[in-house]
Chain A
Amino acid sequence: MRIVTLAGISTLLVTSLCFVCAAQNKPEKTGPPSDYSELEKAPAKYRAKANPLAKDNDSIPAGKILFEEHCAECHGENALGTKKAPNLRAKEVQTAPPGTLFWILSNGIVRKGMPVWSKLPEPQRWQLITFVQSLGPLEAAENKTAAKP
């Protein structure tokens, strides 16, 4: 009985480790940086939502701090995207209705690796959106070219 239990536990542990490794080694499912199709899935109710903190003076500095704390790890310090997550300065994001971005933040894109950020209170999510959309459009490639002497 003891051997059977130990064998069962070992199998569970090994299977779990395999799943964890597979999840880590899988190519990022966030897809090519130009894939912004999720933005189109936002319901009309959300798309129509206005950003209540768009004109709040503290929103941009507060959003910047929140971005550094929660988003820069995947989207990059300048929001230009990394291998893990897309460029947030792409035209599609910068011109998206704030309500669409709010819907993405609140629901995540769980199956593609983007966590749900509903744990951040709503005002903080709006501050993040205000900051991201204040950055203005810039493609990652453009940024590299600009950086060259």
Chain B
Amino acid sequence: MRPARLRHLFKLLLAAFLILGAAHFVRAQENPYIVAYDHNLEEPGSLEIEYFSTFGTQRGGQDFHAFWSEFEYGATAWWTTGLYLSGQTTFGDSTVFTGYRWENRVRPLKNEHWINPVLYVEFEDINGADKILKEVEGHDVESDFLTPNAEARRERNREVELKLILSSNYKGWNFTENTLAVKNLSNEPWEFGYALGASRPLTLKGAAQKCNFCLQHFIAGVEMYGGLGDRYSFGLRNTSHYLAPGLAWNLPSGWTFKIEPSFGLNDNSHQLLLRWGVSYEISGFGQIVSQLFKGKSE
């Protein structure tokens, strides 16, 4: 590597360390959902870095391991924006980068209500080898994943995804209902899908001592998600559906771990999708970056 490039890399690394060194790490309060969203947005100025992994079984083909990283930022108290990068390994085939997604969640109402709507808009530029199953839409079925990576990655999907997230908190429980509509920007019909979720911390009161294993840090839940066909054949048939119990562990140091096995509910679904993820929340990230570039605090 040339010295100029090395210097540049060193500066970048130094900046990253300065940001991480100056940042505050706060305890997140993440629900265990991996597919469904609730109405809780990122705190303003916080950056959440996430890594998720899905191991999937495949009948008639090779099992796979799909993974994605997510950088989610609280731009304001009512707007969260995030970037995803995804890839997958199909055993006995290859590992490929499958594309990126850019999501935005906006909370239109300023107060908390019985049902809280959040509007979600996402642009995705992914190839046909994508297997993260971040959502099920249209007539997605297990056999779609039988195409070898070399062939599947030639297919390019540029899609806009819209979601209406309706979520409620009641006596410690969270209930969420997501409906989604996806439009491939090439001439394909609108496709639809859904995700439902319910979760609750194992205890509602905070502990009087600092601890990592207190029950308040664990949130258990279940989600169900699947496709709803497209505009020409809407419904629950000829698509896949999953039921997924999950657990989130929110550590006071800012780390969150999630695990969620998803079980296919019909013959069109993968029999098992074992998902897990880890995330880290950096509070005040926006302010630190802003100060770095200004050279002084306001």
Chain A residues in contact with chain B, CB under 8 A?
A: 5, 9, 12-13, 16, 19-20, 23-25, 27, 53, 58, 61-63, 65-66, 69-70, 73, 83, 106-116, 118-124, 127
Contacts and interface: CB of A to CB of B under 8 A. Distances in A.
B107 A124 contact: no
A63 to B, nearest CB: 7
Contacts of A111: 77-78, 110
Given A65-B206, A113-B76, A116-B40, 6 more contacts: A5-B158, A23-B75, A24-B287, A65-B210, A114-B77, A123-B206
19 contacts: A19-B79, A20-B81, A24-B290, A63-B206, A65-B207, A73-B24, A107-B110, A107-B111, A109-B110, A110-B107, A111-B77, A115-B77, A118-B169, A119-B40, A121-B201, A121-B205, A124-B204, A124-B206, A127-B206
A5 B40 contact: no
Contacts of B289: 24
Interface in B73-112: 73-79, 81, 102, 104, 107, 110-112
A127 B158 contact: no
B235 interface: no
Contact of B207 (A62, A112, A114): A62
Nearest to A27: B298
Nearest to B290: A24
B80 to A, nearest CB: 11
Contacts, number: 114
B138 interface: no
A141 B207 CA distance: 33
B290 A62 contact: no
Nearest to A114: B77
Interface string B14-44: 0000000000101101000000001011011
A123 B205 contact: yes
A70 B26 contact: yes
Contacts of B169: 118-119
A55 to B, nearest CB: 14
Contacts of B29: 119-120
Contacts of A116: 40, 77, 107, 112
Given A5-B185, A115-B41, A20 B73 contact: yes
A111 B216 CA distance: 29
B286 A24 contact: yes
Top 3 A-B residue pairs of the complex, sorted by shortest distance between their CB atoms: A62-B206, A121-B204, A58-B208
A110 B73 contact: no
B61 interface: no
A118 B114 CA distance: 11
Contacts of B41: 115
Contacts of B286: 20, 23-24
A86 to B, nearest CB: 15
B283 interface: yes
Interface string B241-261: 000000000001000000000
Contact of A58 (B24, B171, B205): B205
B123 interface: yes
B45 interface: yes
Interface string B198-226: 00010011111110000010000000000
Contact of B26 (A19, A24, A69): A69
B128 interface: no
